[in-house]
Amino acid sequence: MVVLFMVLKDDNINQSMLVPLDLRNLIPKDHPCYFIKNVVDLIHCSKANQEFRGTPGEFAYPRDYCSDSF
């Protein structure tokens, strides 16, 4: 019979979560990612979304490529 034990360490840093609830709190207000987000938000995709809704996309790679490789 095998008996396994788990060792638990005391929490001495008083951290209740692994990451904060909102990761944007870690990004400075002048970071370039906000500029990129604003530019992307200006792109209107409704026509493309309407045209391609319900149609399957293409595979990222040919299916036979994976079977030939292995």
Q: Which is more confidently placed, 50 or 10? A: 50
- For the segment 30-47, the average pLDDT, to the nearest whole number, is 92
pLDDT of residue 34 exceeding 70, the answer is yes
Q: Which residue has the tokens 């609830």?
A: 21
Separation of first and last alpha carbons in the chain: 40
Contact call for residues 33 and 27 (beta carbons, < 8 A): yes
pLDDT at 33: 94
Alpha helix locations (H) across 1-70?
Answer: 32-42, 46-52, 63-69
pLDDT at 22: 82
Q: Which residue has the tokens 């790679």?
A: 61
Strand boundaries in 22-69, DSSP class E: none
Q: What's the mean pLDDT when you consider all of the chain?
A: 77
Q: Which is more confidently placed, 23 or 27? A: 27
